[in-house]
Amino acid sequence: MAGRIPQHFIDDLIGRTDIVELIGSRVPLKKAGREFKACCPFHDEKSPSFWVSPDKQFYHCFGCGAHGTALGFLMNYDRLSFPEAVEELASRAGVEVPREGGADERAVDSHDALYELNARVAKHFAATLAADARAQAYVARRGLDAGTVARFQIGFATNSWNDVLRRFGTSATAVRALAGLGLVIEREGGEARDGERHYDRFRDRLMFPIRDARGRTIAFGGRVIGDGEPKYLNSPETALFHKGRELYGLYEVRQSRVKLVRLLVVEGYIDVVRLHQAGVRYAVATLGTATTPEHLKRIFRLVREVVFAFDGDRAGRAAAWRALQNSLPEVREGREIRFLFLPEGHDPDTLVAAEGADAFEARLGDALPLSEYLVRELATQADLAHADGRARFAELARPLIARVGPGVYRELLVARVAEAIRLPADRLAALWRDGGDSGSARGGAPRAALPTSARSASDTLRRHRRPGAAGRRSLVGQAVQALLHFPSAAATLDGALIASLSRVEEPGVAILRELLDELVRDPARSTAQILERWRERPEGAHLARLAADEALVTDAKAAGAEVATALARLAAGADKRRVEALLAKSAEGGLSNEEKQELQGLMAASGPRPQSVRPH
């Protein structure tokens, strides 16, 4: 269901959502006047500094500064991406998320039916596990307790060729759905056996449902409990499941409500489950594939640190090296990628069982940073004791570092390689550059700086102060803040007064004008709706900070009067400066006829100004 989510739908979704109800379902809120308060869920505190406004549909913590809309809360608290947060709110509201140029209603209905079918099959697997003594014995032998089994919805697929097919393939349409989800496989040539053209994919396996951000089962992973091969078997790519994007255990990580600092990436389902059971509740696993850039993008939306844990054998080292290579395009300052190699004969499952969570987590502190692992691995392929080996080392490192985007981290990585080959960093960089590696082809271009207009507007929306007016914002800041707190105030303003902003050249006035035009053209019902419209804009974060500050006015009428006064003063100031400029030019060398007429008009208009606010 690709395609951008329409802004009008987000507006409507915010209008349908009660932020008090949403946050109250996760955080105990207490009424305090017209608002609600609680101890902040984003930092440790003993007295409440977290406030939720039903009027603004906005939350703010006066302790740590966290603030945002209902969507922002879901993104921060449930650790969802923006589209996932929209999906969650839409699910609560009982509506489907439309996409511009996206799927039609029939496709949406089809996906809903597939989610529901996966859920029924997962429930069946769970019931089968509870009734099968052999599978129960295997679970006990692996050290999984009943609570963990229930939390991860672990089940069992019997050693049957048609258990799922017989139970859920009750019609040709149902069989097609099962095949589309990869739960059954069509026999070669489509030949029927015992009247059936399909057979179950998963047989005699412990079953691990793979869930998306909303907890819906999108696929399965199966671990054989006997001597069969392959040891692990995953669902194929389907309409619901793309293994290069998904991480097993990520839903459970989000549900654990632990303060998330890092993610630990391991290789197996049971590794994840045993780590969570032991208290290491930030473990996830890739799904039978190497770590992809898309995996890392998802990880770095949640945390700034990731540790890969691999077995210390040859296969583990090979998997770690693939992970490093795929990680390079996502490396940059502010992100940390490290590698942990476990003792010979251990995987995370057995190691955490043997030494406990504290000792296991202590090992994470000794994990190798990406830069050190890169140098150590390349050193096994080149002899640094002589010049020939060091030259080979540099050539091995060069294409890898070219995949890192320009920035501080890349410069430091070049310096670390230069240190290993005993060459000055600037000399190595110059040699690589002269050799044709500009870093742009594979390393990516540097991030574009904000346009000057955007930077100046953003800066103006910070706490600019007028001389001699302590505690007061600039006129532009006052007007923007009043509109954020009371969007309906825009409807009370005279059009000519809004148009007068075209004469004003104060920093940030372009943002004020755009905000006014937007609110007149498409009124917003709450602060939250405005902020969601500006979410992707450079100024959006500054608007959110303005919205978090206490309002200087108490209702829409007063807000309208304040904005009108600010606009009138801005226009008067612009007119005064223009008059002064024209008079100075007249004294120096004269004015054109047009300039003389402009000056006369401005001086004639310097008397009492017309009423700025339309009567209600």
Same domain, 465 and 595: yes
Do 223 and 271 fall into the same domain?
no
Higher pLDDT pick, 529 / 193: 529
* 101 — pLDDT class (breaks 50, 70, 90): low
Residue 575 structure tokens: 């007119």
Using pLDDT thresholds of 50, 70 and 90, give the confidence band for residue 264.
Answer: very high
Model confidence band, residue 224 (pLDDT cutoffs 50, 70, 90):
very high
Is the per-residue pLDDT at 434 higher than 90?
no
263 sits in which H/E element: strand 262-266
Which of 49, 73, 93 is the last residue before a domain boundary?
Answer: 93
- Are both 370 and 395 inside the same structural domain? no
Residue 99: inside a domain: no
pTM score, two decimals? 0.64
Query: Domain total for the chain?
Result: 5
Give the pLDDT confidence score for residue 311 in this predicted structure.
82
CA distances from 31 to 34, 110, 362 (A): 7, 43, 43
If we measure between CA atoms, which residue out of 115, 117, 78 comes closest to residue 1? 115
Residue 615 lies in a domain: no
How many Å apart are CA 350 and CA 355, to the nearest integer?
Answer: 9
Residue 456 pLDDT grade (very low, low, confident, very high; cuts 50, 70, 90)? very low
Please give the share of the chain, as a percent, with pLDDT higher than 90: 38
What is the mean predicted confidence (pLDDT) over 489-503?
83
Task: Name the pLDDT band for 600 (thresholds 50, 70, 90).
Answer: confident
pLDDT at res. 193: 66
What pLDDT was estimated at residue 605? Answer: 67
Instruction: Reply yes or no on whether the pLDDT at 105 is more than 60.
Output: no
**CA–CA separation, 528 and 566 (whole Å):** 23
Average pLDDT over residues 66-77: 90
Domain housing 154: 105-234
If asked whether residues 348 and 391 sit together in one domain, one would say no
CATH number of the domain residue 458 falls in: 1.10.860.10
Q: Is 295 exposed, middle or buried (0-12, 13-18, 19+ CB in 10 A)?
A: buried
Digit-coded pLDDT (tens) for 532-569: 888 888 888 888 888 888 777 778 888 888 888 888 88
Question: CA 238, 239, 240, 243 torsion: positive or negative?
Answer: positive
pLDDT tens track for 344-354: 889 999 999 99
For 587-597, the pLDDT digits (tens) are 877 777 787 77
Residue 609 pLDDT exceeds 60? no
Residue-wise pLDDT tens digits, 173-220: 999 999 999 999 998 866 666 668 899 999 999 999 999 877 889 999
Asked which of 72, 93, 114 is the last residue of a domain, the reply is 93
Whether residue 439 lies inside any domain: the answer is no
Instruction: Please write the tens of the pLDDT for every residue from 8-44.
Output: 889 888 888 889 988 988 888 999 888 999 999 888 8
Boundary-marking domain end, from 210, 234, 258: 234
Domain of 11: which CATH number? 3.90.580.10
pLDDT of residue 187: 86
Beta-carbon contacts of residue 41 (< 8 Å; ≥ 6 apart): 26, 27, 50, 77
**In terms of pLDDT, which residue wins out, 204 or 616?**
204
Average pLDDT over residues 356-384: 93
Residue 100 lies in a domain: no
State whether 463 and 598 are in the same domain.
yes
The candidate with the shortest Cα–Cα distance to 79, out of 263, 235, 217, 240, is 263
414 within domain boundaries: yes
296 and 369 co-located in one domain: yes
The pLDDT value given to residue 613: 41
Contact 114, 181 (CB under 8 A): yes
3-state secondary structure of 548: helix
Mean pLDDT of 485-495: 87
CATH code, 168: 3.90.980.10
Residue 290 is part of a domain; what is its CATH number? 3.40.1360.10
Q: Are residues 116 and 150 both part of a single domain?
A: yes
Same domain as 476, residue 350: no
Tokens of 553: 């006015």
Q: CA-CA distance, 598 to 154, in Å (whole number)?
A: 79
Q: What CATH number has the domain bearing residue 394?
A: 1.20.50
Q: How far does the chain reach from its first CA to its final CA, in angstroms?
A: 46
Say whether pLDDT at 304 is over 70: yes
Res 472: pLDDT? 58
Instruction: Give yes or no for residue 466 having a pLDDT over 50.
Output: no
* 420/563 same-domain check: no
The tokens for 294 are 């898309």
Residue 108's pLDDT band (boundaries 50, 70, 90)? Answer: very low
- The mean of the pLDDT values for the chain is 83
